[in-house]
Amino acid sequence: MGFGLWKYPPIAFLFEYVFYALVTILVMPLVYIQGLLALGAFGHHIQENDPRKIIPGR
């Protein structure tokens, strides 16, 4: 992630999710938006808790 936000995981998560939400809302039909936003939040949460980030040297 640019701008050094990777040093601040909660802010990086928020920034990425807001960007994802905006793009989703702008390009997807209304019927899919709620499910895609939930799926995106789940996917970002999994990425944020990735054990490879915790173990040094990986």
Task: Express each pLDDT in 33-54 by its tens digit.
Answer: 999 999 988 887 776 655 555 5
Cβ neighbors of 1 (< 8 A, separation 6 or more) are 12, 15, 16
DSSP-assigned letter for residue 3: G
Residue pLDDT, tens place only, 1-14: 456 766 777 777 78
Q: Is the pLDDT of residue 30 over 80?
A: yes
The per-residue pLDDT for 50 is 56
Rounded Cα gap, residues 26 and 7, in angstroms: 29
Separation CA 30–CA 49 (nearest Å): 30
